[in-house]
Structure 1
């Protein structure tokens, strides 16, 4: 950007000065009803927003590029820019042009940046997904100890945990933050990890991560003398929490959000799931990046935004604490046994608003009367919810029920102060209820009923003066005045009336007067609208203070509502989808009877097709070697058992007839194929990297699901890798595992390794076709049926027939020991020299033969019906 020189106008000089303080952000510079951008900002914004690029004036003899957006529609533009990787500095007018002119005719209106809009600091409903968190995270390493802190300023949730550099990727995959802060100068170390999580990388100076000054900053933030009340934090944890607080002060310009007390999380509290496994299992996002098709989308029956966010947190972080899991299951079981109560709770919860986000907006001064009404209505609905709850609740519901009441004083205040349906913004006015404030009522009466007030005064003055023709009129010069004919003027100017009526003007036929009361009422009428708005703003401020004073109890209420909502939702899911309560303990058991994949089952239900349930028992033999053709359902079986473990440990019931699952500490999935061209990795290389991570990290409480290890290389290379991998899982990791493969030679391992058993997915051949039964049973597959699957996929018949010839030759050569594969292949007739095979046609079926003898026009209705039954029997 050009520097300021002699031709710079005062306004442009101000712009350039403010822009210099925010070089890495687009400066939204307020000009009346618009935000305007200039120079390079204008060029970038016009392209990103697809708006017109124009020009305004000159700078150093060059046209100044300019574009702008209406200030009332700015939020939509913010969202577009944030999604495209920009940051936005919002520069507002801090005074009116009239106030600026008091300092001098050419004085420039004062402007300041009041907020930096970044991906991790959004609070507006229009910019956020109500059912998902929007986390801002910070990571730092102090003396070889790392820590990760994360906050959602739209709800106030603040968490911190120890986290090494190696753990950062899996934790970011769990949290999916929008923005991650690291120390300036270290961004190269973490750029790839942060990018993989989909977050934006932001840097802060090292001073922001100083733990000593950071502790003082946090104590000041929470108004405490020590952080010990919140937990025993290590230096790295204090450093990252301090960085979060510093960044919020910078972006919010000192107007800090309502942050909850920091919650310290342990590394072993949740099941560890790495990023590749989360993608493979599609826990919270489908492969296409959206929610549709994910496990979260499939099981979400929550009625509130807070409940939906809690569900996502639980699903992303399944617990490893048996007592916590059992408490959650007890609550769900209580509502599955009392279905009427569960449905009543769900009906009441539909009237609950997003309490956390309403509180956060009010704390940041980005809220409005509608947020206050949401809080009032939610408190009222919580009371109705409490009335539904009986005695003898399980612990989880009992604890939540205790937080539903105790807010009556705030409810009464808001109920008396606010109208039923207030406007969105306080500046619109009209949200304070009648009879709440006498001064406001009077101002509104003058504003809305000025004519009737004047008419009342006119009747009063007629009675006082005895002049029936007296009128109160108004013009732009005199304002309100009393007018009478010259005949009665002498009387009004004589004692005692002259003490009330003050002469103002005499015309040819009329005399005009005023009174002190009329002058006062005129001023009040003219100012009534503005005065009413000022009174409402004052009352809004006092109501905000009253609400924020109850932020702690209201936060507890929000958590209670979310817990009850999630419990009722999971109970509803269990009842409607026939899910059962799993037994979860500290053993190494893994026994599933009649297990089902919830997402696949839901998709089949829409098509009217049944899902084939399957058993899985890894307690006695912790590794199953699964064989069978493609398309038979091996991947579904692998994934469904991993999902059952996740659902069980988040405290939910599971889609099975019965389930006994010992705590799974880690979950690893290597299912599906993909490359990583950006890093120069082939599909096979990605597979090997992910397999290496599993073998290096899995402990004896892990659950590992692996599919087709080694398929991306030569047959013997792949078989060797798969063989050695299975042996390592059995001998070294000693974990529970499902290992799917096409290498049938590996089935011999079950005889050599005590902890390995063979299983296969059953199929049936019928007239050259393969029928998938989707049934998993003990044993091994005799072959892969690849050619049949290729035929089903639509390969040209000539290719399928040629593949059969080659396959038969190779299999015959191996059976008879007829030399090397190369020799066998050399003996095959050349494909190009062989004529295209005649399309194979099956012999006519009995149904077809019967139909040949039928003449439809000759059939009576009765004969036609009999024919249908006959054909169905033949079929």
Structure 2
């Protein structure tokens, strides 16, 4: 049954809800006619068809029809029913209001959107309109993955980004893309330009929680592979991405006449930014979070890292989605949630601006040298709450007393940190100190004075304004508290008058104040002289309840005093929240400065604890690392009481060369080739993110693009085998890498036939050397490729040392110049536990294959490996053979050559060939 079938009837309410009495009486029809409650539900649901509707009924959010079926399955809660419609049961389930955030978190994580429908009036007001009147309700908020603000729904140490993608035509057959991305929970708002080629990489860098697209863009077949990688997509009507009113919408949202003061934006960027603010206004139902004005990311300001490389290197999450085991998990020493989020962003977006990178290193270096200052900063930072998220909740009207307290504490700590940093010379630290010095001391003092030390979480609970802050509130509280004392005195009077020692005056939401005695003593209050004082109210299994004129009058006084005290607190809260929102720019700036300080101090602590050093950053094609280490593996080995073997790596461009070096790394499986490759890529990321690096020394030229093809994975959902995925990623590298790029490639060509794979690996290596001319590490089991070092000037061979001992292989994990002549695959298989019979047979087969290869004529190898005719760019014109070349050819006896001798002879002939240019 669907909601669209009709407005259903309902039976009696499934749960007691005394505050919904009018609806309870209107919920008993089973004749197929529309009941007021269900009519209201259907109307509100029809306005929010793409959301699960949390329909407030008393102390529960109820769901009906398909919503109930989906929520019941997703949340693992009981699916029940509420009456019938057209002879069929109406599915229903519900969650307690007190636990709503817990259930919302689960639903949002599963990709649902939820419309929260609240009661907008007191049920008593509804009763005044008649017994069948329904409490007024409406949706107060749409909860989506990208618009969360509550701490319970968010990961405190991870950004929650809402992103919009817009596309405009930039020529006859070309398009320009604009990306706008905001974190509603903190107020950050950025835009950038993109292209079809860079779109996937940009989306991976931003890592959004929810993506807004026009429905036309969403349906485009060419972009389907890009959208399939995203966590939550919300297609919107084409009108949401119209360019005509984009600039006006943005100006209106930020209350300015023109956007010129915010910078220069492209048309696609403006459209995407306007789509963001329109969606935020829609989901927040008019409430406006304290978004900062949009800031445009400069083109090529950050290190380009494609999605595959991010996965391979596990920068902020492992391949299984966990933080632990990633680079971020290994280097995070921050003490605030805002600092952790900023560090994650910096690792995802390393800089390419040499000056900015050095500025971050200066800040970290200063705190490494000034250990006492760094320790003092970290102690104060540990007490800093999450200012940005508290500000966002207050601006949306969802804040509580603890958010006000967080703002006050954060501003106070910011002022103290500004004083501590006055003498810090690095520009980045001085900028933080200047931002913190602008914290509003008056606001901080007022918030501290207004709030108790441990306020309640919810403002409706009251009791959060400190005594002495407001005279009127103090007087009202005194009246309320005095009334409570009078209740105790009245109870003693009744005990003495009746002689019932167990008599108690109690209170609940239904009856208010009442006198309660045991059933055995009830008759005493029903008889003279007490009959004139006490009126029977309720009989329970073991107790009887009464009221009295005095108690009713006292209840009225207490209720009015308590309500007035709470109303006064609410008014004070609203005034303080308005002041906070008015100071949003200063608070946001302070929050950013505190997060940056935390990152610098955390990286300084990391450098000291893990023996990281400051890298020397240059504008040249340098890449010289001495004693480099893998930060994640090293820490894992340290926990296991093991040691990490450091290794050198030098890919720097030789003097006068037009490109960097390539290291061809050979060695057996399990020897550490992949670790070596990854550690050098991670060192580059850390350095350009502003961190010190795990090495004895490092001299690094800024990398513009980082590419990694390490490991094997398939993509069966898109019809891609492991080898196809490998080739797609390799193609991206060869087509996009520049002279300033860093490339790490592992086992190219291993997913297909041996000669095919060797050919591809050979050609790829030549292309990297001749065309891309980038710095690269190329690991392979094709030992034949090592001969390329004789003709490729910037290619050097390196191998991972191993030793054999009594038939076993011992991995030394040391990378040294040279080439491996064996893969030791059978020894590794033996270590893995293959049966002895299999190992013995493998050895016999290997011996036969090696003997056959030694006996094979050279021409067979040449014929089956067309890679020896690989083209080079630019192909030189054929030069006439000289006497030396002719003499060398005459000296060759093809029938007498082994395959390796044939290969060496070919290189010798190539060396004699006349060159041009």
CA drift at 1:129: 0.5
Write the mapping of 1:209-608 to structure 2, written as runs, cut at 5 A.
209-405=241-437, 406-450=439-483, 524-608=557-641
Does residue 50 (structure 1) correspond to residue 81 (structure 2)? The answer is: no
Greater mean alpha carbon deviation, residues 143-152 or residues 99-108? 99-108
Does residue 163 (structure 1) correspond to residue 194 (structure 2)? The answer is: yes
Partner of 1:720: 759
CA distance in 1, matches of 2:732, 2:559: 75
Greater mean alpha carbon deviation, residues 593-602 or residues 384-393? 384-393
Does residue 733 (structure 1) correspond to residue 772 (structure 2)? The answer is: yes
CA drift at 1:374: 1.2
Does residue 745 (structure 1) correspond to residue 777 (structure 2)? The answer is: no
CA drift at 1:815: 2.0
Greater mean alpha carbon deviation, residues 94-103 or residues 557-566? 94-103
Does residue 699 (structure 1) correspond to residue 732 (structure 2)? The answer is: no
CA distance in 2, matches of 1:670, 1:801: 34
Does residue 110 (structure 1) correspond to residue 136 (structure 2)? The answer is: yes
**Aligned partners of 1:191 and 1:201 also within 8 Å:** no
**Aligned partners of 2:419 and 2:433 also within 8 Å:** no
1:782 partner SS: coil
2:245 partner SS: helix
2:198 partner SS: helix
CA drift at 1:390: 4.7
CA distance in 2, matches of 1:331, 1:609: 32
Partner of 2:218: 187
**Aligned partners of 2:218 and 2:224 also within 8 Å:** no
Write the mapping of 1:757-836 to structure 2, written as runs, cut at 5 A.
757-817=796-856
CA distance in 2, matches of 1:625, 1:777: 11
CA drift at 1:61: 3.2
Does residue 3 (structure 1) correspond to residue 6 (structure 2)? The answer is: yes
Q: 1:245 to 1:429 in 2, by over 3 A?
A: same
1:211 partner SS: coil
1:46 partner SS: helix
Deviations 1:35-92 (A, max 9, x none): 1011111111111111111111222332211111111111111111112221111111
Where does structure 1 lack aligned partners over 5 or more consecutive residues?
457-473, 481-506, 511-517, 823-875
What is the RMSD of the two structures over their aligned residues, measured on CA atoms?
2.5
Q: 1:424 to 1:509 in 2, by over 3 A?
A: closer
CA distance in 2, matches of 1:127, 1:808: 62
**Aligned partners of 1:304 and 1:349 also within 8 Å:** yes
**Aligned partners of 1:813 and 1:819 also within 8 Å:** no
Q: 1:63 to 1:276 in 2, by over 3 A?
A: same
CA distance in 2, matches of 1:762, 1:63: 72
Q: 1:616 aligns with which of 613, 629, 649?
A: 649
Partner of 1:500: none
Partner of 1:172: 203
CA drift at 1:753: 0.9
**Aligned partners of 2:483 and 2:557 also within 8 Å:** no
Does residue 641 (structure 1) correspond to residue 680 (structure 2)? The answer is: yes
CA drift at 1:687: 0.5
CA distance in 2, matches of 1:417, 1:11: 43
Does residue 150 (structure 1) correspond to residue 181 (structure 2)? The answer is: yes
Q: 1:566 to 1:451 in 2, by over 3 A?
A: closer
CA drift at 1:387: 3.6
TM-score normalised to structure 2 length:
0.81
Greater mean alpha carbon deviation, residues 547-556 or residues 56-65? 56-65
Q: 1:538 to 1:715 in 2, by over 3 A?
A: same
Partner of 2:39: 13
Partner of 1:862: none
CA distance in 2, matches of 1:126, 1:329: 35
Q: 1:315 to 1:522 in 2, by over 3 A?
A: closer
**Aligned partners of 1:446 and 1:453 also within 8 Å:** no
Q: 1:804 to 1:96 in 2, by over 3 A?
A: same
CA distance in 1, matches of 2:287, 2:506: 47
Does residue 671 (structure 1) correspond to residue 703 (structure 2)? The answer is: no
Partner of 2:11: none
CA drift at 1:520: 11
CA drift at 1:524: 4.9
Deviations 1:368-416 (A, max 9, x none): 0011111111222223323433514211001101122342100111111
Q: 1:133 aligns with which of 153, 159, 163?
A: 159
1:537 partner SS: helix
**Aligned partners of 1:810 and 1:821 also within 8 Å:** no
Greater mean alpha carbon deviation, residues 308-317 or residues 764-773? 764-773
CA drift at 1:260: 0.7
**Aligned partners of 2:450 and 2:469 also within 8 Å:** yes
Q: 1:689 aligns with which of 716, 728, 731?
A: 728
Does residue 68 (structure 1) correspond to residue 101 (structure 2)? The answer is: no
CA distance in 1, matches of 2:797, 2:684: 21
CA drift at 1:820: 12
CA distance in 1, matches of 2:670, 2:635: 18
**Aligned partners of 2:670 and 2:828 also within 8 Å:** yes
Partner of 2:22: none
CA drift at 1:28: 0.7
Write the mapping of 1:854-873 to structure 2, written as runs, cut at 5 A.
none
2:669 partner SS: coil
CA drift at 1:819: 11
Q: 1:541 to 1:781 in 2, by over 3 A?
A: same
**Aligned partners of 2:290 and 2:392 also within 8 Å:** yes
CA drift at 1:814: 1.9
Partner of 1:826: none
Q: 1:193 to 1:375 in 2, by over 3 A?
A: farther
Q: 1:754 to 1:545 in 2, by over 3 A?
A: same
Deviations 1:582-608 (A, max 9, x none): 011211111111111000111111111
CA drift at 1:508: 15
1:404 partner SS: helix
Where does structure 2 lack aligned partners over 5 or more consecutive residues?
9-31, 170-174, 490-504, 514-529, 534-550, 655-659, 862-917
Number of residue pairs aligned between Structure 1 and Structure 2: 771
CA distance in 2, matches of 1:47, 1:161: 40
**Aligned partners of 2:613 and 2:696 also within 8 Å:** yes
CA distance in 2, matches of 1:24, 1:285: 31
Q: 1:817 to 1:543 in 2, by over 3 A?
A: same
CA drift at 1:98: 1.4
CA distance in 1, matches of 2:555, 2:699: 81
Does residue 204 (structure 1) correspond to residue 236 (structure 2)? The answer is: yes
